[in-house]
Structure 1
Amino acid sequence: MNRTPLQRTATAVLPGLVTAAAAVLPAYLLHWLFPWLPVLTTAVVLGLLAANLPGISPAVAGPLKPGLSLAARRLMRAGIVLLGLKVSLVDIAGLGWTALLLIAALVGAAFAGTYLVCRAFRLPGQEPLLIASGFSICGVSAIGAMAAARRVRHEDTVVPIALVTLCGTLAIGVLPLLGSLLDLPAETLGIWAGASVHDVGQVVATAQTAGTAALAAAVVVKLARVVLLAPLAAAAGLLGRRSARGEQTPGKLPPLVPLFVAGFLALIVVRTTGVLPESVLSAAAVVQEVFFAAALFALGAGVRFRALFVSGFRALAAALVSWFLIGGLGLALALTLSR
C-alpha cells in the first residue's frame, strides 16, 4: 500500500519525537531525587549521553534523528511562546522608570561585555552572539530566539545552551551563599538573582532560599529582562535581513520578527490583561518546562563530544568570565535599587 508524503513524514519523525518526550521523565525523576539538579540541565546531559554512548548513538544518529531535529526546533519555539504567559507588564511597570532604565542598561552592558569576552577567547561562528544573548536576557529562550532570527543551525546552539544552563545551575548554590556572607537583605538578594541569573526557573530556585520577599523581587526584575527578548530578536532579524540582501531573493529574506516571537509578545498581552486564571498559568508553566526539556534533550542528542570540545574549553573559560561580569553588574544594580 502506497503511503502519502504526509504519512511518510510522520513515520520518519515519530520515533524521535517519542524519544524526546520520553526523555523528560528521567529528567524529572533525577530532579526529584536530587532537587539541586535542574530539569533542563539534566535533559541536556541525557541528550549528550544518548548521542555518545556506543549502544544508543547509532539509533540517535540514524532513525531517531529526523524526529529529534524537529523536536529541537519546534518545541523550543513553543516553549518561548508560552514564556510570554509569565510576563505581566503591570508588574514590570511597578518597578518605576528609574529601575527599568537601569535594568535595560544592565542588559546592554551584560550583552556587550559577554560578546567581547567571547570574541577575546576566539569562539567560533555565532557562539559569541548566542552566549551573549543567553547570559544577558533569559538563558535558553534567548539563545533559541536569536538562533532563529539569525538562522543558526540548531546543532550550533548546543555549546551556548550547555554553558548557560551550567552557569545558571552554579548560581543556584553560589548566590545564596555569597548573599549570606555579605549579609544582604532578602530583597537585595532577590534583585541580584533577578538581574544576573539566566533562566526564569533558575532565578526562582536561587531566590526562594531567602523567602517570599526575595522571590517576589527576583521574579519581577527577571521578567523585566525577559521583555527585552522581543527587541533583541527584532534587531537580530533586521541585521540578518541586511546581510542577506543581495545574496538571496526578497522572498527568502529572514523575517524581521520570527513568528514565535510574535506569539511570545501576544501572550504577554494576554497575561497582562489578567483574563487567565492562576490554574491555567500554572499549567502553562509546566507545559513550557516540558517543551524546553524535550527540546534540550533533542539538542544534546545531536552533538558528538568531539565536536563539543572543539571550542568547549575556551567557551567554558569565556562563560565563567562572563558569569562573574554579569554577577558583578547584577550586584551593583541590586545595591543601587535597595537604597
Structure 2
Amino acid sequence: MSDADLTQSTPPAASAARLWPGLLLTGAIGAIAFALHHLPGFGALSPLILAILIGMAVHNVIDTPTAAKAGVKFSLRRILRAGIVLLGLQLTLGQVAAVGPMGGALIAVTLVSTFAFTTWLGRRLGVEAGLAQLIAAGTSICGASAVIATNEVTQAGDEDVAYAVACVTVFGSLSMVLYPMLGALLPLGAHGYGLWAGASIHEVAQVVAAGYQRGTEAGDFATIAKLTRVLMLAPVVIVLGRWAARGATGQGSSQAAPMPWFVIGFLGMVLVASTGMVPAPVHADATILTQFLLAVALAAMGLETDIRKLKAMGLRPLILGAAAWIFIGALALALVLVTGQA
C-alpha cells in the first residue's frame, strides 16, 4: 500500500482511523526498546536495534495484526523520514570544521572506498545489488540510520533491510570490544584513536562506547569524527537516488532523478543547529525524539520481516558484511598512520 493509497482511497477521517492501530503498535515497541536500552545487559544495543528485533519477534511468533498494516506502512514511510530530518539537528558545521581538512578528507576517502569495495565485492559474491548497497551504506556511513535512509531510494525488500541492520549490529558490537584492545597496542594517541574509531565504527552509540574507553579526549574526538560521517549521508542518498533513477529509465533518458525531500530537510536542520540558536534543552529533547521516531520506523520494519526469508539469503551477505567491516577498519587505521594523524 502506497502513501497515496492511505490518503486517496478513503475519506481523510476514515484513513486516519485506519492508521491508529499500527501507530500504537509501532509506538509501543519503540517505547519498550527505549526501556530495555536502560536495563543492565541491553545498554550496548541501541533502541533502534532493539526495536527491529522486537518487531521481528512479534511478526514471526504471533504475526502482525491485519488492522495494524496501514499504520505500520505509515511508520515505515512518513515517520522514518521525519526522524531522518530531525537527525540533522545533532550536527553542526562547526563540528565538521573541528575535524580539520586532513581529518575530513580521511573520513571521506574511507567512506567512499568502503562503499565502492562493498558493492564490488557484493557483485563478486553474488549478493543482490540492493542488499549489497544497504550493507555498504550501513558500514561506511552510520549503521542502521544509513541503512533505512538508503533504502528510501534503493527500495530493497524489508528482509534486506533487516539483514543489513543485523550486519552493522554484529560487527559494530565487535568493534566496541576490539578497538580499545587494539588501540592499546597501536602507536595511536587520543586524537588518532578517536579519528580511527569515528571514521570506521558503524553506529554512533558504538563509537561513543569504544571512544570513551580510551579517555575523554579520545571519546570527544571520536564522536565528532563520527558525526562528520553522518553528515555525508545526504550526498550519498542523493547520488544513489540518481543511480536508481538512471537504472529505471535507461542510460539515454534525460529524466531527472527526484530529490528526496527528507535529505533537504536533513541539511536544513544541520544549518539550523549550526546557528547556535537552538536552546540546549530543546536540542536534548530533539535528540531523544529523533531516536524514538527512528525506533518506531525500525519497529515497523521488523513487523514486516520474515525470518524464513532471512535464512534463505544464506551466509554470503554475512561474509560481505564481515569483509566490509575489516576493510573499513584497516583502511581508516592505515590512513591515520600514513597521514600523520596518529
TM-score for both structures, normalised by structure 1: 0.89
For the Cα contact (< 8 Å) 1:73–1:154, is it kept in 2? no
Q: Distance in 2 between matches of 1:286 and 1:274?
A: 19
Given the alignment of the two structures, is residue 189 of structure 1 paired with residue 178 of structure 2, yes or no? no
AA at the equivalent of 2:25: T
Q: Which residue of 2 aligns with 1:309?
A: 311
Among 222, 225, 228, which residue is 2:226 paired with?
Answer: 222
Deviation at 1:8, TM superposition (A): 2.3
Which SS does the other structure have where 2:277 is aligned?
coil
Among 319, 322, 339, which residue is 2:321 paired with?
Answer: 319
Among 17, 27, 36, which residue is 2:23 paired with?
Answer: 17
For the Cα contact (< 8 Å) 2:86–2:266, is it kept in 1? yes
Q: Distance in 2 between matches of 1:28 and 1:169?
A: 18
Q: Which residue of 2 aligns with 1:67?
A: 71
For the Cα contact (< 8 Å) 1:111–1:136, is it kept in 2? yes
Given the alignment of the two structures, is residue 338 of structure 1 paired with residue 332 of structure 2, yes or no? no
CA deviations over 1:73-123 (Å, ceiling 9, x no partner): 222222211111111112212332222222211111111111122222211
Q: How does 1:31-42 map to 2 (within 5 A)?
A: 31-33=37-39, 34=41, 35-42=43-50
Structure 1 residues 312 and 162 mapped into 2: Cα distance closer, same or farther (>3 Å)?
A: farther
Q: Which residue of 1 aligns with 2:12?
A: 6
Shifted more, 219-228 versus 285-294: the winner is: 219-228
Which SS does the other structure have where 2:312 is aligned?
coil
Q: Which residue of 2 aligns with 1:276?
A: 278
For the Cα contact (< 8 Å) 1:38–1:169, is it kept in 2? no
Structure 1 residues 16 and 83 mapped into 2: Cα distance closer, same or farther (>3 Å)?
A: same
Q: Distance in 2 between matches of 1:83 and 1:320?
A: 27
Deviation at 1:243, TM superposition (A): 2.6
Deviation at 1:224, TM superposition (A): 1.9
Gaps of 5+ in 1: none
AA at the equivalent of 2:102: T
Among 26, 35, 38, which residue is 1:29 paired with?
Answer: 35
Structure 1 residues 38 and 95 mapped into 2: Cα distance closer, same or farther (>3 Å)?
A: closer
CA deviations over 1:218-274 (Å, ceiling 9, x no partner): 122112212221211221222233233369x999x751x200000000011111111
CA deviations over 1:147-198 (Å, ceiling 9, x no partner): 2223445554222122223322222222223223447433322212101112
Q: Which residue of 1 aligns with 2:267?
A: 265
Structure 1 residues 73 and 206 mapped into 2: Cα distance closer, same or farther (>3 Å)?
A: farther
Q: Distance in 2 between matches of 1:39 and 1:337?
A: 36
Among 67, 90, 97, which residue is 1:93 paired with?
Answer: 97
Given the alignment of the two structures, is residue 146 of structure 1 paired with residue 150 of structure 2, yes or no? yes
Q: Percent identity?
A: 38
TM-score for both structures, normalised by structure 2: 0.88
Q: How does 1:171-190 map to 2 (within 5 A)?
A: 171-182=175-186, 184-190=188-194
For the Cα contact (< 8 Å) 1:150–1:254, is it kept in 2? no
Gaps of 5+ in 2: 1-9
